[in-house]
Amino acid sequence: MKDFQTLRIVFMGTPEFAVESLDALVKAGCRIVGVITAPDKPAGRGLQLQQSAVKKYALENHLRVLQPEKLKNPVFLQELQSLQADLQVVVAFRMLPEVVWNMPPMGSVNLHGSLLPQYRGAAPINWAVINGEKETGVTTFKLKHEIDTGDILMQERFPIGEDENAGEVHDKMKIIGAQLLVKTVKALADGSLHETPQSSNLNPDSSDRHPQLTTHDSRLLKHAPRIFTETCKIDWSKPVDEVYNLVRGLAPYPAAYTILNGKKIKIFKAEKINSVPGIDPGNIETDHKTRLQFACSNGFISILELQPEGKKRMPVADFLRGYRLG
């Protein structure tokens, strides 16, 4: 048993999602002895080096920063060892080799954006919305060899609104996840936390705070693989609910898209209309002023915000004013 404020913690993360967790740990009085984040990368028109969101926060708060190109680099490993961490906390970072995650005496804790074991993988928020889930959550777990399979420490669930997109779920999740992470670190420090293997025999509909699946129930698992361009292309022959969920699940990034008059159009915001179309799926109806809707198999998707190829994002009325449709 230790006082959590005396624990030596190394934090690993890169994007803005991870900043919320690092900030929560700092504000809780945790002793952050080092921050590991991605190397600066050239970005923008001038290809100037850009710091990660986590690096910016760490520098503003006078935390020591390490930016290894390779996590197995002996020089980096020596530096990491010299920080003498009791615990490593990982949020939205890359896969760690065993020599890294197994280094601290208390191991490494990861925050994942789903109710594990559901939605293991790189894009859990997107896939939960794409699949029309009514709720999701966050999980803290101990890292081990296979990705997102370690013993569960804590979970917190929350609802997904019917019209919420992935960006809105992300913004709620980063706050809920940060709070859960602080609770987890405190409980690890005082020894009150019970670790639950993901292979435990629990029903996925159980009200238990660790909803697990048995090994033979693995067919019920939903996965969250990386989003590729082909994932984002809308198939208008699908039911209207599926298309609507795809648009929500990919907004604001990378955005669902379709081809209109030979040009790619990204769709950021839409609404569904449950009326049987009298036109084939993929065809459009428009008043050339404020209404542009695509037919699906059993309804319409009415576009509210979109981005034509090579242009900026705009309301549908602006698009219809400047774009000639057949």
Domains and CATH numbers, the chain: 4-220 (3.40.50.170), 229-322 (3.10.25.10)
Q: What is the pLDDT of residues 257-276, one digit of tens each?
A: 999 999 999 999 999 999 99
**1: pLDDT confidence band, cut at 50, 70 and 90?**
low
3-state secondary structure of 307: strand
Alpha-carbon gap, residue 106 to 131, rounded angstroms: 36
Q: In this structure, are residues 140 and 180 in contact, taking their beta carbons and an 8 Å threshold?
A: yes
DSSP 62-82: T--EE--S-TT-HHHHHHHHH
Q: Please tell me the least confidently modeled range out of 46-50, 59-63, 200-204, 303-307.
A: 200-204
pLDDT band at residue 218 using 50, 70 and 90 as cut-offs:
low
- pLDDT interval class at 325 (50, 70, 90): confident
As given in the structure block, the two tokens for residue 178 are 């940060």
pLDDT of residue 59: 98
Write out the two tokens for 11: 């934090």
Q: Could you tell me the pTM of the whole model?
A: 0.91
